Structure 1
Amino acid sequence: MSQNLQDAYIVAATRTPIGKSGRGVFRHTRPEALLGAALQGALRQVPGLDPAAIEDAIVGCAMPEGEQGLNIARVAVLLAGLPNSVGGVTVNRFCASGLTAVQMAADRIRVGEADVMIAAGVESMSSIPMTGVRPSFSPDIFLRDENIGIAYGMGLTAEKVAQQWKVSREDQDAFALASHQKALAAIASGQFRNEITPVEVTHRAPDLASGEVRTRQQTVDTDEGPRPDTSLEGLAKLRPVFAAPKNAQGKPTGMGSVTAGNSSQTSDGAGVLILASERAVKSHGLTPLARFVSFASKGVPPEIMGIGPKVAIPAALKSAGLSLSDLGWIELNEAFAAQALAVMRDLELNPDVVNPLGGAIALGHPLGATGAIRAATVVHALRRNQLKYGMVTMCVGTGQGAAGIFERV
């Protein structure tokens, strides 16, 4: 690190539980309410911090439109009760939006422009579908062959990765089963307890007999995605849902291998981190949980976007002056089992340190929130297990990879 930069410390890290989109527990909860709950949860972790000291809130969101539009960062900051002086800006790097928010907040501190920042991510896939409300691709995407990959559906890119890196259907299903098993074990042993802020949900239903609307309150404190009934036999019965992969001549090479069971779940959730300079840590009596070390984003061909971490991870390690062996914990977002396995095999990642508590196949993937959510997981896991360095990494639609490194202090 340059001598001209100061350190940025994470002093609070939390997330909401992750709900299933469309039919899950947060299906009627607006995204700014999810983000607001996480913001309030983060502030409770730093009782000595005057909220007026927070200079800005940077929030990642992959589909910032509809209910997530109108600069949801600023809207949520105000609705969460923070002072009017706290700004808000929404950023979008698709699945790496939340992690990019952490990087941007840390950089403001590292260059001396701020002392206390909020970094967050939010996504309600119950509210906004995967491609947004009214997607419109540039015609130029389809005019030149090299651009067509930009418009590929995510599942088709996973099929191409599975084909090119020779990841079998059996291996993908086994990886998916392990994700559920690890997540269920983590929930049962309470390993997510310190990182989750419970969310109060109000359910409303008409009472036809009385003509009144009945309300029921529910405290949600557990991730909704992990399934105890997941089995290899059940996963094997699921049909591939994307087109069969093709060879260079455009001929099908057999059945596809990517299914709903070995892909990430669409989800609703939010995550929040509060970052501070050393000066702010001392003046507000804060306890640093971790230090932000480095970040890297790199591009790859859009049609194999899932391989993005393969190039982002080495770049983040180089920037930090570290090697893979220094990482005691890696949160590798499981967009698809095919791409996660391809990255792990290509970089020879130690499977024992990759997603020890399960990943997005079991826990869910609320797009722009995932980077902030998994950063909270890493921060608490490093402290709980007395590990030095951890990483959050993911692939990104249209062909990118991102990786961020954290150090326990």
Structure 2
Amino acid sequence: MEKAMKRQKVLLQHLNPTALQPLDSAISPSVCSSGDGGMYQRNAAFGDDVVIVAACRTAICKAKRGGFKDTPADDLLAPVLKALIEKTNVNPCEVGDIVVGTVLAPGSVRAMECRMAAFYAGFPDTVPIRTVNRQCSSGLQAVADVAACIKAGFYDIGIGAGVESMTIDRVDRPRQVSPKVENFPQARDCLLPMGITSENVAQNYGVTRQEQDQAAVESHRRAAAAMASGKFIEEIVPVSTKIVDPISGEEKSVTISLDDGIRPSSNMVDLAKLKPAFKKDGTSTAGNSSQVSDGAGAVLLMKRSLAMKKGLPILGVFRSFAAVGVDPAVMGIGPAFAIPAAVKSAGLKLDNIDLFEINEAFASQYVYCGKKLNLDPAKVNVNGGAIALGHPLGATGARCVATLLNEMKRRGRNCRFGVISMCIGSGMGAAAVFERGDHADGLTN
């Protein structure tokens, strides 16, 4: 230990020679394991930070009857991939990998569609692409995977994206289930419909119908206000596509640039009239659950040193990621456990987080997680969430990155750290911590 302490003194003197006065009082065995510290003081290797230089999304549209009902998944993904290159002027040949979160389509089919989308967007055949599926966190997992690969030195530039067409693909049970599942209660609970897990959360943790409806009203109110004030303009890429009249078959060319699931007139009286959607005496309804949607999002990541060399503005810094497991019967509680894990991994405390984007899969789980973590409602989903905007499963994580980082940019100096989190089917939760890109401290460019 004594030799290790001496080596640590020398190392810390090189990193920050003015901070060790006197040396002996500042050194302890815990320093090496403390990362960048509670308020995330940067170290001298900050050029190796993984940063986000661009993040965008399509509008989110109602499945089967919204603006993208006749738009295939590859035509949803291509515009956001192309927009990243156009926004930054990065040479697409420099991209080391494209990772796309996606959930419902058969893996081999969606993998081919994503490869096709990359070609539509102008990427050369030298740029590889793959898909990742961690259910509702797939888009965030794609971003985390790219960040990890950049950190590991596999490549310097990568894209984490997500896409889902819930018009075309639907949630299905496994085609064949082993008979042994009946002997393993938690394995059996992996097959529960998501709506039933929502009811379990409401019942087990005392979340009332009124609380759920109120959360839904607030989601629509905030999303409507954000859209009216133009907050989403910077993050949404307009998509030129077609809409087919279901009766006449007539095709009409359109450009979709607005989320079409937001209901500004949503209110408690109307929501109270809705019948439970999943259980006869339940509290989860079509009005206080996330919308079934179509959409895509994409995030361009690279090393900070490279972004500085290219003169690109840094929208955010990827600080940490955590995925955790929870009981499948109450899968919605995942964020209540994933958020503390990710925040701790970043060397922070919950009080250090200025903004949260928590996916509103169901109002029951969203309300529970906020109460469990004692979060300030004024910091959570300030521009609405999936109840109003929609939840295209594989795209949601990437959509949240675009929404969070653009809001942090607008808020400036008073908003340094943000968190994205969601629950995950079969009993998991995921969360990631981001830092605002232009935050200034002693070692920032």
Offset at 1:45?
Answer: 1.2
Q: Distance in 1 between matches of 2:245 and 2:140?
A: 38
What corresponds to 1:262 in structure 2?
A: 288
Given that residues 92 and 122 in structure 2 are in contact (C-alpha distance below 8 angstroms), is that contact kept between their aligned partners in structure 1?
A: no
Q: Secondary structure at the match of 1:108?
A: helix
Q: Does 1:219 align with 2:255?
A: yes
What corresponds to 1:321 in structure 2?
A: 347
Offset at 1:135?
Answer: 4.0
Q: Does 1:239 align with 2:275?
A: yes
Change (3 A) 1:156 1:207: closer
Q: Distance in 1 between matches of 2:138 and 2:178?
A: 22
| CA displacement, residues 147-179 of structure 1 (integer Å, 9 cap, x when unaligned) | 221111001001110011100001101110111
Given that residues 261 and 291 in structure 2 are in contact (C-alpha distance below 8 angstroms), is that contact kept between their aligned partners in structure 1?
A: yes
Given that residues 189 and 329 in structure 2 are in contact (C-alpha distance below 8 angstroms), is that contact kept between their aligned partners in structure 1?
A: yes
Offset at 1:205?
Answer: 5.3
Offset at 1:23?
Answer: 1.1
Q: Distance in 1 between matches of 2:228 and 2:299?
A: 25
Offset at 1:137?
Answer: 3.5
* Rg larger for: 2
Structure 2 residue corresponding to 1:408, chosen from 417, 421, 436: 436
| CA displacement, residues 196-234 of structure 1 (integer Å, 9 cap, x when unaligned) | 1011122345998xxxx8543211111011112322111
What corresponds to 1:27 in structure 2?
A: 69
Q: Distance in 2 between matches of 1:351 and 1:139?
A: 45
Q: Secondary structure at the match of 2:429?
A: strand
What corresponds to 1:168 in structure 2?
A: 208
Q: Distance in 1 between matches of 2:390 and 2:111?
A: 26
Q: Distance in 1 between matches of 2:285 and 2:308?
A: 50
Letter in 1 for 2:420: V
Aligned length: 393
Q: What is the 5 A alignment of 1:1-400?
A: 1=35, 6-47=48-89, 49-65=90-106, 69-131=110-172, 135-204=175-244, 215-243=251-279, 255-386=281-412, 387-400=415-428
Offset at 1:343?
Answer: 0.5
Q: Distance in 1 between matches of 2:247 and 2:185?
A: 57
Given that residues 70 and 244 in structure 2 are in contact (C-alpha distance below 8 angstroms), is that contact kept between their aligned partners in structure 1?
A: no
Moved more, 318-327 or 265-274: 318-327
Percent identical among aligned pairs is 43
Q: Distance in 2 between matches of 1:94 and 1:257?
A: 24
Q: Secondary structure at the match of 1:311?
A: helix
Letter in 2 for 1:224: D
**C-alpha RMSD over aligned residues:** 2.0
Given that residues 57 and 73 in structure 1 are in contact (C-alpha distance below 8 angstroms), is that contact kept between their aligned partners in structure 2?
A: no
Given that residues 62 and 390 in structure 2 are in contact (C-alpha distance below 8 angstroms), is that contact kept between their aligned partners in structure 1?
A: yes
Q: Secondary structure at the match of 2:381?
A: coil
- The two structures have a TM-score, normalised by structure 1, of 0.92
Given that residues 289 and 362 in structure 2 are in contact (C-alpha distance below 8 angstroms), is that contact kept between their aligned partners in structure 1?
A: yes
Q: Secondary structure at the match of 2:278?
A: coil
Gaps of 5+ in 1: 245-254
Letter in 2 for 1:119: G
Q: Distance in 1 between matches of 2:176 and 2:238?
A: 37
Change (3 A) 1:215 1:161: closer
Q: Distance in 2 between matches of 1:35 and 1:140?
A: 39
Offset at 1:283?
Answer: 3.5
Given that residues 36 and 79 in structure 1 are in contact (C-alpha distance below 8 angstroms), is that contact kept between their aligned partners in structure 2?
A: yes
| CA displacement, residues 248-267 of structure 1 (integer Å, 9 cap, x when unaligned) | xxxxxxx2111111000000
Offset at 1:54?
Answer: 0.5
Given that residues 115 and 277 in structure 1 are in contact (C-alpha distance below 8 angstroms), is that contact kept between their aligned partners in structure 2?
A: yes
